[in-house]
Amino acid sequence: DTGVSQNPRHKITKRGQNVTFRCDPISEHNRLYWYRQTLGQGPEFLTYFQNEAQLEKSRLLSDRFSAERPKGSFSTLEIQRTEQGDSAMYLCASSLRDRVMDGYTFGSGTRLTVV
Amino acid sequence: AQTVTQSQPEMSVQEAETVTLSCTYDTSENNYYLFWYKQPPSRQMILVIRQEAYKQQNATENRFSVNFQKAAKSFSLKISDSQLGDTAMYFCAFMMYSGGGADGLTFGKGTHLIIQP
């Protein structure tokens, strides 16, 4: 297993466009998390999945943000009608439900720039 | 809601020196986990060390150790014999025990550690 994979690594988009990011977790991990990291800040929790179920989504930043994990494997994070304030690093992480105390394995992130 | 505070935005030390990064947190929970993560430039975040709140013994991983003071809600990271590869952002993070970590990790703002040759 090569760890948590995120694509693309970088995305530049025009304001108002929709963007979608993909995360492939460690294959045996049943939990998958999305975080946003802005410059000079620590990662901010957005949402998480246990298998295909999205168990926490109240912290998604607005209704323009949505995430899916249709078959309990990879996940996508979509931002509709992007704004300049959405420019950030979007991090994905995964873990085993019964081993969350071991911490998460993070991907390298997708850096979004909205122009 | 939990908060994590890292009061040192940046620190710089010479190679081979010992450095301590500070972290305080605020919670009403009694059972929780604490973590230090390292984020090298343009690379993924990796776990450095973790501590369970119910354990009094401070965690140690090779050159990395913590000073966990539960009553003071303090969780500092000590790096001994610092190396150039230790240059990175370091984040302190908190996770509640209840709910099986469903609230995710709460991170501090980070400390940028620079190891000078």
Residue among A3, A40, A103 whose CB faces B35 most closely: A103
pLDDT at position B29 is: 87
Helix (H) / strand (E) element for B33: namely: strand B32-39
The token duo for B53 is 């709140």
B62-89 per-position pLDDT tens digit: 999 999 999 999 999 999 999 999 999 9
Asked if residue B101 has pLDDT above 80, the reply is: no
Beta carbons of A71 and A61 less than 8 angstroms apart:
no
Contacts for B8 with CB less than 8 Å, ≥ 6 apart: B21, B22, B111
Residue B43 — pLDDT band, cuts 50, 70, 90? Answer: confident
- Asked if B35 and A97 touch (Cβ cutoff 8 Å), the reply is no
> What is the mean predicted confidence (pLDDT) over B38-48?
90
- A103 and chain B: CB distance < 8 Å anywhere? yes
For chain A, residues with pLDDT lower than 50 are none
Residue B99 pLDDT class (50, 70, 90 cuts): low
Residues in B 24-63 with any Cβ partner in A closer than 8 A: 33, 35, 37, 43-47, 50, 52
Q: What is the pLDDT of residue A1?
A: 55
Is the CB of A97 inside 8 Å of chain B's CB atoms? yes
Nearest CA in chain B to A38: B109
- What pLDDT, on a 0 to 100 scale, did the predictor assign at position B66? 97
B13/A contact by beta carbon, under 8 A = no
User: How many Cβ pairs closer than 8 A exist between chain A and B?
Assistant: 60
List b or e across B20-39, with b for residues whose CB sees 16 or more CB atoms inside 10 angstroms.
ebbbbbebeeeebbbbbbbb
CB atoms B110 and A42 under 8 Å: yes
Mean pLDDT across chain B: 93
Q: Does B4 touch chain A (CB under 8 A)?
A: yes
